[in-house]
Structure 1
Amino acid sequence: MIRNNRVGKHTAKLLVATAITLTAFGGSAMAEGELHLYNWTNYFAPELLERFEKETGTKVSVDNYASEEDLLAKLQAGGGGYDVIFPGSTTLGVMVEKGLLAKIDVNQMENFKNLLPAFTTMAGDEKREYSAPYMWGTTGFTYDPALVPGGKLEESWKELFEPKDELKGKIAMLNEMSDVWNAAAYYTGVSKCTEDPAEAQKILDVLMAQKPHVKLYSNDGTIDRMIAGEVAVHMQWNGAAHRVKEKKPDAVYVYPKEGTTFWTDVIAVPKDAPNMEAAKAFVNWMMSPEVAAIASNYTGYSNAVSGSGEFLKEDLRNDPAVNTPEEYNERLRAFEACSPASKDLREKVWTKLKS
């Protein structure tokens, strides 16, 4: 999720009046050469690329992937010459296990002190040796009141998995295995880390019954699709929902009562990164408050850096799709590191669904 997916095309306004000095690099030498990023589409502010280039002399380029499966495959095939990547929490754990990442000791970087306490550790990288937090958010769904029966939907995954007749063919799902699997698991009451084939079958049954009513599975264009009215309901990441509401203020983002995935994207470095020192400097730089705020203002997601709040746009602070209302906190479900057996079931279900 710009995780094009997780956001839409947007040009962030410069809210930071003071220049970010080179002290943000924690005393490390100025970066040199080129830095190659691999990220979701439109998930990184162009303004930050320009700043980093200006402050370090390092030329920065960005390539994009459409799914985390693509990202993982690229690294397993040799990394593609990338210096910095932006995986989600699920993929991060797999990359650490497979030895695909450089141990860059983020916990020793100068700007690590800026992280909010809840983000100083995470499943799969408990000591923060391999990754720094980037954006975090939730996966729910958005609907257009003008296009749904009665102008309102229940706060339940039922609206997607058992759509009303008027909505059949007018709903869209993300093309992200973990998010789709998790939502169906919450709806069926099955553990998302189940190792029971019978429980996995329950998830598959729900997804296969839904499939004929789904207009498409896609991570790209979710914002434009909702704004154009191509679908009435879209499974979305909350930052994308925020961008929809910029054009359609009446759009509603739902935290389904059965469970809403709470996710964190991170910044990491492939083990064979060509410009390792520049990559480390970049990771440290991204943990400074001003930089983190510019990233949030562009993507529409929250960051994990203390002190960034004063630089955030007001509409971000006030949007319940971005800042989860307290009454919905109990609905949030954090990442869990599932067993290989569970992951295998998930992949089998996804393969059958998409075949």
Structure 2
Amino acid sequence: MRNSLRRPRLAAALAIGAVGALALTSCGGGVSDGGGGGDAAASTEYVEATSGEVNLYTWSDYYPDELVKKFKEDTGITLNVDFYDSNESLEAKLRASDGAGYDVVVPSDYMVQILANDGLLLEFDATSLPNGGNIKPEFLDVYFDEGRKYSTPYLYGTTSFAYDTDVITEELTSWKDYFNPPESAGGVGIMNDQVEVVNSALRATGGEFCTTDGAELQGAQDLLTGFKGRVGTINSDGILERLANGEQTMAMIWNGAAHRAMQDRPSLTYVYPEEGIALWQDNFTIPAGAENVDQAKTFLNWMLDPENMAVAVNFQAYASGVAGTDELMSPELAESEAIVIPDGYDLAKPVAPCNNEELTNYTKIFETFKG
């Protein structure tokens, strides 16, 4: 989910071609040059595509340029990449188009469940892909997509906050510390993500996730209202860069982005709060209205090859649910305090989605906070 690149954000859709494209060599029946729409879209059959294009809609700066080029070279398919900054932005785009406009999208765990339940994702059965056996067993029967009927795993990580110990000399150990920062923190960064923000506020105030209890909701809103004056940015983009260059000294951040920022500014530390943190999974899915279904399935299958997924793992600085990628992780990454959860810390857990009524409460709190 996550903006973890050092290079500047690409401002527009990216399409890179290469000369001498090769066909994908994984097992699986047939080849296809067509888009695979119509009847193919309703089928779980895997037909390997060898030309055409696939339109990927993903988080800002969340797919390496190297893989865009390699996919073209390996398969003959052009990969076009466009970006969004939150699960809710993705959801709104798919609802407005009835699931059309893109061939592959990258929702987080809870959003996979929401989109699938509302008929906005194609059911294709990941285990039917030639490389489907590379999905780690613990990533197969996940709460948001039992048996992986709608998704394949991409990257996973945690969401917490980081701060610069050269500037902030106090030891910060909790979400209470984050929402009540020392003066030395200056303008604090927070994500433009209502689920992460409201859940973190509920952690700090002792409320339950997805609560409908008026007092708990009010407690979270009061905390955010009091915090607003200390906020420098409400933005999920550019967090890494702002911490790495010293523009901000404290921000909510994903662990992979924190790791990369720490390479440029070693005085940064990633916090494992005493109230716990979210363990999230991002996933590749195919929208129900996708036009290039065979190309999309070919892309998902190609990304289930550990050698390809490992490029994303090492570049984005997150782990993956694809078997074989752990062994290909760089030593620097495998030893990072932001990536490796400390021994004995068992408070990094997935967070199940709220229902519509509960999400409406979250939206009201978050919009009040942003307003």
Q: Helix, strand or coil: the match of 1:110?
A: coil
Shift of 1:290: 0.6
Shift of 1:166: 2.8
Aligned equivalents of 2:309, 2:154: Cα separation in 1: 8
Shift of 1:80: 5.2
Q: Helix, strand or coil: the match of 2:365?
A: helix
Shift of 1:165: 2.8
Cα 1:88/1:23, change in 2 over 3 Å: same
Cα 1:334/1:136, change in 2 over 3 Å: same
**Aligned residues of 1:135 and 1:265 also touching (Cα < 8 A):** yes
Give the match for residue 14 of structure 1: none
Long gaps (5+) in structure 2: 9-21, 30-46
Give the match for residue 241 of structure 1: 258
Matches within 5 A, 1:286-301: 286-301=303-318
Aligned equivalents of 1:225, 1:293: Cα separation in 2: 27
Aligned equivalents of 2:353, 2:26: Cα separation in 1: 33
Q: Helix, strand or coil: the match of 2:284?
A: strand
Residue 230, structure 1, aligned to residue 242, structure 2: no
Aligned equivalents of 2:129, 2:145: Cα separation in 1: 15
Per-residue displacement from partner, 1:118-173 (whole Å, max 9, x unpaired)? 1102223112100011010000111111110x2x4221112221112333x33111
1:85 to 105, 108, 116: 105
CA RMSD of aligned residues (A): 2.0
Q: Helix, strand or coil: the match of 1:142?
A: strand
Residue 50, structure 1, aligned to residue 55, structure 2: no
2:93 to 61, 68, 74: 74
Matches within 5 A, 1:160-239: 160-167=178-185, 169-239=186-256
Per-residue displacement from partner, 1:298-334 (whole Å, max 9, x unpaired)? 1111111111122221111110211212222x12131
Give the match for residue 14 of structure 2: none
Aligned equivalents of 1:170, 1:25: Cα separation in 2: 53
Give the match for residue 172 of structure 2: 154
Shift of 1:48: 1.1
TM-score by length of 1: 0.91
Shift of 1:340: 2.5
Q: Helix, strand or coil: the match of 2:145?
A: coil
Aligned equivalents of 1:38, 1:140: Cα separation in 2: 25
Matches within 5 A, 1:242-321: 242-321=259-338
Aligned equivalents of 1:66, 1:338: Cα separation in 2: 20
1:65 to 66, 84, 93: 84
Aligned equivalents of 2:221, 2:5: Cα separation in 1: 28
Aligned equivalents of 1:77, 1:60: Cα separation in 2: 23
Aligned equivalents of 2:340, 2:7: Cα separation in 1: 21
Shift of 1:36: 0.6
1:76 aligned partner, one-letter code: R
Residue 41, structure 1, aligned to residue 39, structure 2: no
Aligned equivalents of 1:193, 1:7: Cα separation in 2: 32
1:190 aligned partner, one-letter code: G
Aligned equivalents of 1:294, 1:160: Cα separation in 2: 33
Shift of 1:31: 3.2
Shift of 1:206: 0.7
1:346 to 342, 362, 365: 362
Aligned equivalents of 1:176, 1:238: Cα separation in 2: 16
Shift of 1:239: 0.7
Q: Which has the higher contact order (CA 8 A, sep 6+)?
A: 1
1:85 aligned partner, one-letter code: V
Q: Helix, strand or coil: the match of 1:24?
A: coil
1:333 to 343, 349, 353: 349
Per-residue displacement from partner, 1:199-236 (whole Å, max 9, x unpaired)? 11111111111111111111111111011211111110
- Between 313-322 and 335-344, report the one with greater CA deviation: 335-344
TM-score by length of 2: 0.88
Residue 9, structure 1, aligned to residue 7, structure 2: yes
Long gaps (5+) in structure 1: 11-19
Q: Helix, strand or coil: the match of 2:101?
A: coil
2:123 to 61, 78, 103: 103
**Aligned residues of 1:7 and 1:239 also touching (Cα < 8 A):** no
Aligned equivalents of 2:104, 2:176: Cα separation in 1: 39
Give the match for residue 139 of structure 2: 119
Aligned equivalents of 1:296, 1:194: Cα separation in 2: 35
